[in-house]
Amino acid sequence: MVDIEALRTQPELTGENVLLTQLDETYFETGWEALREPESRRLTGTHTDFTEEQVRTWLAGRPGLADRADYAIVRKEDRVHVGDLALTDVDKDNRSGSFRIALNGPEFFGKGYGTEATKLLLAYAFDVVGLHRVSLEVFDYNPRAQRAYEKAGFVREGLQREALWWDGEWHDVITMAILKNDPRP
């Protein structure tokens, strides 16, 4: 069974270097900058230009939701907000959900924060919320993300040919997933 209360209350999740805490409007300033950061936009395929008002409203609406969990990734040593991640589209009947993550800019990439945060979120999704399957999509030009996902236990399942139009070219979208009983390195 899916524990809806665990989604609504979103316990803080603590790792060695990062902690995951409820995303809300207090993360507006850093989140707003990250949304305009060109490399993060390219790697997440973000075409939309959000307004400040849209972002504030979206952040303020995160706490208490029953079908998803949105977390801020905070570096433990200095409490810097280094990124966000989310378990979305939770399907109670099939005990499945989707995963997304983005660190706030290149200065945070490649330091292990993404892999650690992903592992924390998966432990929560499987062992606390009670999911059976978590899936994600990643672009063919993002090997760093693919590697981080593999390190957390995601397995490549498929390829959507030319599903993304970015900067004048078509790109393939890779599908990855992890099941509850798959190895979690």
Question: Which residues would be at the binding site for ligand COA (CB under 6 A)?
Answer: 40, 43-44, 83, 101-103, 109-115, 138, 142-145, 147-148
Answer for the pair 23, 71: CB distance below 8 angstroms, yes or no. yes
- Cα dihedral 59/118/137/38 (nearest 10): 60
Nearer to ligand COA, 91 or 140 (CB): 140
| Residue in the shown chain whose Cβ atom is closest to ligand COA | 114
Shortest CB 172 distance to ligand COA, Å:
13
- Segments in the chain forming alpha helices (H): 4-9, 28-35, 38-44, 52-60, 113-123, 143-152
Shortest CB 46 distance to ligand COA, Å:
9
Nearer to ligand COA, 93 or 183 (CB): 183
Shortest CB 63 distance to ligand COA, Å:
23
Shortest CB 17 distance to ligand COA, Å:
10
Report DSSP letters for 11-55, one per residue: --EE-SSEEEEE--GGGHHHHHHHHT-HHHHHHHT------HHHH
Nearer to ligand COA, 26 or 142 (CB): 142
Nearer to ligand COA, 126 or 139 (CB): 139
Q: For residue 141, give the 3-state DSSP assignment.
A: coil
Nearer to ligand COA, 22 or 175 (CB): 175
Tokens of 28: 């507006």
